[in-house]
Amino acid sequence: MSKKPLQFIHNGRAEAVFVEDGQNLLDVLRREVGDLTAKYGCGQGACGTCTILVDGQPQLSCLTLAETVEGKSVETTGGMMDGSELHPLQAAFMDHFAAQCGYCTPGMLMAANALLRQNPNPSRDEVVEAIGGNICRCTGYQPIIDAILEAAGKMSQRRYG
């Protein structure tokens, strides 16, 4: 099977890999780049655990043909930390016990990340809408929603405080 060169920005760093025709971006991230933070769940666009950001917009990496991100910025949960410091969303997820089995967490974090970039002060309903494509089978969602709202508040304080 032939391979094609692919270059993109992965969590702020230039990445160059070879991809197979038809290979999805999640597979490339995990196998070729070695970033295991985005998870494979359903492969159908139903669970959201593979959510990443492409040029700042949320996308499902399992449904993204890898070569479509040529030259684009791809962000995963693996790039959220600032050195050894957790991103406010990650810290809030810990504080609120918003992860139980943890399988949905990377997708939830990236969906929330996308929301807070576009809307730094979301309402509870807007948070629910933002994670509407992400399934969690453990937490009942409330701790996740609480965590996102708390992170939004802390990030606003940092910005304006």
Partner 1 sequence: MSLQVTTCASLDEAGRALSASQTAKYLGGGTLVMRWVNEGDQSFNEIVRTTDSAAQRIDISGERVTLGAGVTMAMVAEHRDLVFLAPAARSVGGPAIRTMATVGGNLFAHHPYGDFTTALLALDAEVTMAGGQTQPLETLLAQRDRAGLVMSVTVNRPRNPSDFRFSKVARVKPKGISVLSIAALLPQQGGAISGARIAYGAMAPTPVRMPSVEQALEGARLDAAGVSSALARATDGLDPPTDPIATGWYRQEVAPVHLRRLLLGDSA
Q: From the CB of 62, what's the least distance to partner 1, in Å? A: 6
* Three-state DSSP state, 116: helix
String of contacts with partner 1 for each residue 77-116, x by CB under 8 A: ----------------------------------x--xx-
Among 11, 59, 105, 139, binds partner 1 (CB under 8 A): 59
Q: From the CB of 95, what's the least distance to partner 1, in Å? A: 24
21 binding partner 1? (CB under 8 A): yes
Strands (E), the chain: 3-10, 13-20, 51-54, 57-60, 73-75
120 binding partner 1? (CB under 8 A): no
Q: At what angle do helices 105-118 and 142-160 cross, to 10 degrees?
A: 40
Cβ neighbours of residue 120 under 8 Å, at least 6 residues apart?
152, 155, 156, 159
67 binding partner 1? (CB under 8 A): yes
Q: What is the CA radius of gyration of the chain?
A: 16
- Measured between alpha carbons, how far is 54 from 75 in angstroms, rounded to an integer? 7
Q: Which stretch binds partner 1 (CB under 8 A): 15-23, 78-86, 87-95, 152-160?
A: 15-23
Q: Which residues bind partner 1 (CB under 8 A)?
A: 1, 4, 20-22, 24, 43-45, 48, 51, 54, 57-60, 62-65, 67-68, 111, 114-115, 128-134
